[in-house]
Structure 1
Amino acid sequence: MSNTIYLEYNFKVDPVQPASDILTAELGNVLFESFVETEDGIQAYIRKEDWHPGILDDIHILKNPLFTITYELKEIEQENWNATWESNFKPILVSDKCVVRAPFHDKPQVDYDIVIEPKMSFGTGHHETTHMMLQFILDHDFKGKSVLDMGCGTGVLAILASMKGATQIDAIDIDNWCYLNALENVERNHCEQIRVQEGTAELLVDQKYDIVIANINRNILLEDLPSYVNCLNKGGIVFLSGFYEQDITVITEKCVGLGLKFEKNLKKNNWVAVKYVF
């Protein structure tokens, strides 16, 4: 793979919350694909080939008078991503049972020790949506289950599902860099049950799963939910995140129309993760 050039936007946000979360969501809708939280805002990354001069024109929060948001822009190559990430990344503890850490961190005494190098991929556990999805996986029985992790990013959710006893796992992402990174992290954590694939919901033809996990933005979820439900075994579970509390109504309406039943949701800083049963 050629060495892709990324653009790094370093946003300074005042007040930091909830503006940083809103900014992250809006940037994710215009092809920004990776984010790092900082003390005074976020760093956001987009491939140079996906960038255009008006990329921020439709980012509404930048025009909101309630917040002061400034930014600096620079180019960064993938080979420099690890140095950027390592300077910000600290181990994440979830429910006192699971740690998501880097290889250079000390090994913790927990039930589930996940070692990742996210590079340009989303899913370190720092973001509220990933953290809540990890909570859901920790709280549910995955032993002997078949699992789909859609929009897998680093592969961290699939890896925890494997550690919890899932026997067949497909981890899918449309982005080539996420695909390659997930392959590395799956191998690093010795998860032979996970098959990593590059692509979209079109790969789900003739597939069946007991559990579907999808941490993707609202619009993609609404578009792809029929494909998820079509490959879900009766009595199966769907865990969704990547959207805000105010989006639960429209997501749930879509799910109910497809035969799913709302069961519960988690909330963290206005982000939500929701469980549905089939």
Structure 2
Amino acid sequence: MNYIELEIQADSDFSEILMAELGEAGFESFVETDERLLAYIPETDFEETKITEIIGRYQEITPIVSSWKSLERKNWNEEWEKSYDPIEVNNQVRVRATFHEPNPDFRYDLLIQPKMSFGTGHHETTWLVMNEQLSLPHEGLSVMDVGCGTGILAILAHKLGATDILGFDIDEWAVENTLENFAMNGLPEEAKVFQGTIDGVATELMFGGILANINRNILLAEISKYNAHLKPGGWLVTSGFYETDQADIERCAEENGLKKVRSNTRNQWATVVFQKI
């Protein structure tokens, strides 16, 4: 599957609102620099008319220049290397690419080679989830990563002490990339990744922690399924939605017997941690 890279040059004050609008239009990941905003969407989901409408709403108040192109698998690495910078979380986690030198000041060094920029840490929700992971127990737990992307959250779970890891994603690139990143970060061969959804997880498998950085609609439809795989006392981290959707996520979780532990926001995106009572 190919992806569309949309490049937008606009005043940085408009980056957040443009990302929010593009997120509603189906764009799955973003890379923001001082000069431009890059947004990515599967080619099959791309509708140029939607982009024209979004940009048109803001061009009357600020200059915006945009362009887009199709990215094939063969040229993705070259594209993201042009703008990828290491990501730092709470002075403890550093996510870097293979062409960055390690920094011993950070306790957790995560190495990734993304095929696509899902979960590189640039998106607010990935940062939010990693930040929450630092305050959650992982030692000796089985952890499931829902919609694993690059596998970055599962890798951090392993570095925090999780002993059994299971990840899955509907995207072929994501599964391939996660396996590659698992190997680079020294995860054991027992760490599993498959292409599919929560319905592909064996009924008897139970987890002490579940990471679900997806989106509002999938969370609302699947929280009950996550709960069925969560051990009593286990934690569930949800993200991938806006602050305005947080109440719906909390209501759904509580209806399924989950207790809210805490929540956090970052540039209009939200994360909520729940515990199974």
Q: TM-score, normalised by structure 1?
A: 0.90
Q: Which residue of 1 aligns with 2:262?
A: 264
Runs of at least 5 residues in structure 2 that lack an aligned partner in the other structure = none
- Picking from 10, 21, 24, the partner of 1:23 is 21
Query: Is residue 150–residue 214 contact of structure 1 (8 Å, CA) maintained in 2?
Result: yes
Q: Post-superposition shift, 1:252?
A: 0.4
**1:271 Cα deviation after fit:** 1.1
**Superposed, which structure 2 residues align to 1:172-251 within 5 Å?**
172-192=168-188, 193-206=190-203, 207-251=205-249
Matched residue type, 1:34: S
Q: Which secondary structure state, in structure 2, belongs to the residue aligned with residue 18 of structure 1?
A: helix
Aligned-residue CA RMSD (Å)? 2.0
- 1:60-109 CA-to-partner distances (Å, cap 9, x unmatched) read 57535666654212222221111111111111111111110011111111
Pairwise mapping of residues 162-177 of structure 1 onto structure 2 (< 5 A)? 162-177=158-173
Match of residue 274 from structure 1? 272
Equivalent residue in structure 2 for 1:63, among 57, 62, 67: 57
Aligned 8 A contact 1:179 1:196 in 2: yes
3-state SS in 1 of match to 2:224: helix
Contact between 2:143 and 2:208, CA under 8 Å: does it hold in 1? yes
SS in 1 for 2:88: strand
Q: Of the candidates 88, 95, 106, which is equivalent to residue 93 of structure 1?
A: 88
Hey, what does 2:3 align to over in structure 1? 6
Match of 2:124 in 1: 128
Q: Do residues 154 (structure 1) and 150 (structure 2) align?
A: yes
Query: What is aligned with 1:36?
Result: 31
- How many angstroms apart in 2 are the aligned matches of 1:85 and 1:17? 19
Q: 1:47 aligns with which of 39, 42, 47?
A: 42
The structure-2 alpha-carbon separation of the partners of 1:61 and 1:150, relative to structure 1 and needing over 3 Å to count, comes to: farther
Residues in 2 aligned to 1:22 and 1:143: alpha-carbon distance in whole angstroms: 35
Deviations 1:161-203 (A, max 9, x none): 0011101111111111111111100011111152111101111
* Distance in 1 (alpha carbons) for counterparts of 2:38 and 2:29: 8
Q: Equivalent residue for 1:140?
A: 136
Distance 1:257 1:117 in 2: 39
Distance in structure 2 (CA, Å) of the matches to 1:61 and 1:11: 9
Alpha-carbon contact 1:212-1:239 (below 8 Å) kept:
yes
Letter in 1 for 2:146: M
Letter in 2 for 1:83: E
Return closer, same or farther for 1:66/1:252 CA change in 2, 3 Å cut-off.
farther
* Residue 140 of structure 1: how far off its partner (Å): 1.6
C-alpha contact 1:155 1:182 (8 A) present in aligned 2: yes
Q: 1:274 to 1:25 in 2, by over 3 A?
A: same
- TM (norm. structure 2) is 0.90
Asked if the contact 1:16/1:41 (under 8 Å) is kept, the reply is no
Could you tell me which residue of structure 2 aligns to residue 119 of structure 1?
115
Does 2:76 correspond to 1:81?
yes
- 209-218 vs 15-24, which deviates more? 15-24
CA distance in 2, matches of 1:17, 1:9: 13
SS state of the match for residue 272, structure 2? strand
Answer yes or no: is the 8 Å Cα contact 1:13–1:19 preserved in 2.
no
